[in-house]
Amino acid sequence: MITNDSVQSREQLLRELQGIGFSDYEAKAYVALILTPNSTAYEISKTATIPKANCYTVLENLRKKGAVQAVSENPVKYVAVDPQKYFNQVAVNTQLRCEKLQDSLSRIAVLPQEELVWSLNDKNSVQIQIGKIIDSAEDHLWIKASDTTLAPHKDALREAASRGVKVLIVLFGKDVVEFDLGKNSKVYLHEGNGIPVGIAHTLITITRDFQEMLVAEVGVNSYGSYTKNRPIVNMADSLIRHEIYFAEIFKELGEEIDEKFGPALFNLRQKYLPKVQAKALAKLLQKDDITV
């Protein structure tokens, strides 16, 4: 019985294969051979819903890619090359090709990389760039983010701290101990309480060594911006630096500040936040007696 989940899973596989250079028919034929090995071209055309006239060409293209092999004659039958073996080789070849292209293209012209702001338009791009920033840190990492946003990067942050990088985190959340990464790390709850304001639970701002920064939303529709542009990096550094100042002030004067401006500075925030966010914060704080 074919379920909606199995259909969606198969469609996702086909899209992923097309994403690395398979044509629509090649992706269908390869998946068909994974499911029904030792098949003839005729059998594959039926299983994969590929026109019979196209199937031989498709299989020959897959053979040239190294994705399938013929294993018998009269009739000719095919099997898919083991996915782990095949895609490991694809990854190696692609890496080598990319390195050659980087070298060749850099000889043509030098692009003004440090002046550009790069857009990141999906979850993988954002997560990969966060990882690269953490891994390349030499002196310090400053981060403002929620505990759920940082959770996937905890091991990388711990490794950075262990090699001497000073990791400082302004955290939206409740448990600073969770992100205690050793003597080179320091964690502050945002404004002394860690209450997520607005969309803070999905945002991250991270800077490295006064040299590069990333700001991103990591929700369902992730997107962000990354740059080494010096004025923008300075602005992000200043933002986090002032968050650190606030954290130190709240540590010393938190009760007085709450008394004057309300918990989570609500008396101030309701003046300047978008109304939807102000209402959400009021609900979070259970301040039903406040007009927003």
Q: Where residue 125 sits, what CATH number does that domain have?
A: 3.30.870.10
Strand order in the sheet with 77-80: 39-40, 77-80, 68-72
What rounded mean pLDDT belongs to the chain? 88
Residue whose pair of structure tokens reads 């309480």 in the numeric block: 193
Residue 177 lies in a domain: yes
pLDDT tens by residue, 99-134: 999 888 878 866 666 778 999 999 899 999 999 999
Residue 111 lies in a domain: no
pLDDT tens by residue, 7-49: 678 888 999 999 999 999 999 999 999 999 999 999 999 999 9
Residue 36 lies in a domain: yes
- The gap between the terminal CA atoms of the chain, to the nearest Å, is 54
Q: What's this model's pTM, rounded to 2 decimal places?
A: 0.63
The pLDDT > 90 percentage for the chain reads: 62
Confidence at residue 141, expressed as pLDDT on a 0 to 100 scale = 97
Report the C-alpha dihedral over residues 23, 26, 27, 32, rounded to 10 degrees. 160
Both 174 and 243 in one domain: the answer is: yes
- Domain housing 230: 117-261
The pLDDT > 70 percentage for the chain reads: 94
Residue 274 lies in a domain: no
**Count of structural domains, the chain:** 2
- Band of pLDDT at residue 247, cut at 50, 70 and 90: confident
pLDDT tens by residue, 139-195: 999 999 999 999 999 999 999 999 999 999 999 988 888 888 888 999 999 888 888
Q: How many Cα atoms sit within 13 Å of 247 on the Cβ side?
A: 20
